[in-house]
Amino acid sequence: MKKQILNVMTLLLMTSTALVSCNKDDKPNDGNGENPANGKYILLTAEWGVSDGAGYYAAYDKLPTGEVDNIGGLSLQARNYGGFRTYKNWIFNRQTLSGETGVVQYSLSANGKFAQSGFIKCGTSAQHLVVNENTGFYYDADRGKTKIQKFNPTTMERTGEIDLSAAIEKGAGISTNVTTGEQTIISKEGKLYVNITYASEKVNGSADNMRNYSLAVIDISTEKIEKVIVHPKAKNHGRANSEFPAWIHGSDGALYLLTTGWDTNEDRVMTPQNSFIFRIKAGETDFDKSWELSATDLGLPAGALLWSFRELNGKLYVDASQDKIILPALTNLNTNIYKFFEVDIKTKNVKPITNVPLTVFGLSTGNVEVVDNQVFLRVVDRAKGLNGYYKVNLSTHVGEPAFNVKRGGEASGFIKLKGE
């Protein structure tokens, strides 16, 4: 990613606070019940244009509906650093309320109350991955730009590291400004996939990759580096500072990844390329060079942006800009130009989702979620007072309002915890 993108995105991500509760019919748990923590719906909202970056999480016993009032109720104030990730009954993000960066864990008790339950401090915002209750990985440049740190998600303690320096290519004309894991840390079928980014010598090594997108493939059980795979077209995946991972595990066993196509040359000048989704198939450890889904496949112009996506029943649900993104100024990035599509993975048959207003850029929240085997689309139009989620009729591909947030800030994440 480029400096211009990081500046714009940092401004967008960090100008938000959030207050969360709900309307009379769909209020968060009041702390008196004994409902199990799993099965709770989690909503994060963020107040647009506020600079301290704080936010609130709240748990819902029932799926929110209608007009949702997010001011008051039982909730947890936390840093809204670009959304959040979940594993079972845990929520993770990258910055504490006081502004410390690292891997932050929140837990939800049986009575529906959130609390910070763990924190591993890092020098920078930490890309991270939870594989299971005892195995996790994260990136901490302070401990080594070419190492991956290990941690136990149950105890939230660092447990060691994996040195990836042996996987880094060296030689004439190859940058020595290399980072591993600040952009991509993913697991599939017992393997860990970690980016190797060869940045310009002139930058700090974020995601400004001068070569094609490379992943070290590591056997998790032995921690042995098996090989390095290189994509023939993509240079970067997702966005390093984003909590939205820009990757998903499909029900077909494949790992799907997305590139924005915003890449730079040696002088850090943007050189736009296609935005597309690519994959590693089930049972394989190399990129599938015969399959990709680009903006033009959706009937959109070259230069249009694919950002967030989810999968359900063999279909990808994707949000993408109907217009070409203006680079490098990004003047139309966060405007209402994003629409939604359903794409059959096998046939690539595309069906637009209708009756859903155009929405804004998904930021680190993303605009697509799957909850209770239903597809929810984040729709925000500040001028029209739209601020919530639409639900998709999967048979007709028609959207209808699910709920709209009336007070407390913009919808900034909606999921359902899966833990026990």
Query: Is the pLDDT assigned to residue 226 strictly greater than 60?
Result: yes
For residues 240 and 382, the model is more confident at: 382
- Residue 364 is classified by DSSP as T
Q: What is the pLDDT of residues 36-59, one digit of tens each?
A: 456 788 888 877 655 555 667 777
How far lies 167's CA from each of 171, 172, 233, in Å? 13, 16, 20
Question: 331: buried, middle or exposed (CB in 10 Å: 19+, 13-18, 0-12)?
Answer: exposed
pLDDT value at residue 319:
96
Query: Is the pLDDT assigned to residue 19 strictly greater than 50?
Result: no
| Cα separation, 420 vs 416, whole angstroms | 12
Share above pLDDT 70 across residues of the chain, in percent, rounded to a whole number: 82
pLDDT value at residue 329:
83
Q: What is the pLDDT of residues 324-356, one digit of tens each?
A: 998 888 899 999 999 999 999 999 999 999 999
The three-state secondary structure class of 4 is helix
What mean pLDDT is predicted for residues 265-286?
Answer: 87
| Cα separation, 267 vs 372, whole angstroms | 47
Q: Is 156 left (phi over 0), alpha (psi -120 to 50) or beta?
A: left
pLDDT value at residue 342:
98
Most confident of 4-8, 42-46, 158-162, 326-330: 158-162
What mean pLDDT is predicted for residues 130-158?
Answer: 96
pLDDT confidence of 81, banded at 50, 70, 90? low
pLDDT confidence of 15, banded at 50, 70, 90? very low
Chain centroid to CA 135: 20
Q: Where are the domains of the chain?
A: 3-416
Identify which of 372, 373, 414, 420 has the alpha carbon closest to the alpha carbon of residue 37: 420
What mean pLDDT is predicted for residues 120-135?
Answer: 92
The CATH superfamily assigned to 3-416 is YVTN repeat-like/Quinoprotein amine dehydrogenase (2.130.10.10)
DSSP symbols for 266-291? TT--B-----EEEEE-TT--S--TT-
Q: Out of 42-46, 162-166, 240-244, 350-354, which region has the weakest mean confidence (pLDDT)?
A: 240-244
Most confident of 22-31, 80-89, 387-396: 387-396
Query: Is the pLDDT assigned to residue 25 strictly greater than 50?
Result: no
Structure tokens at 213: 């997108």
The three-state secondary structure class of 174 is coil
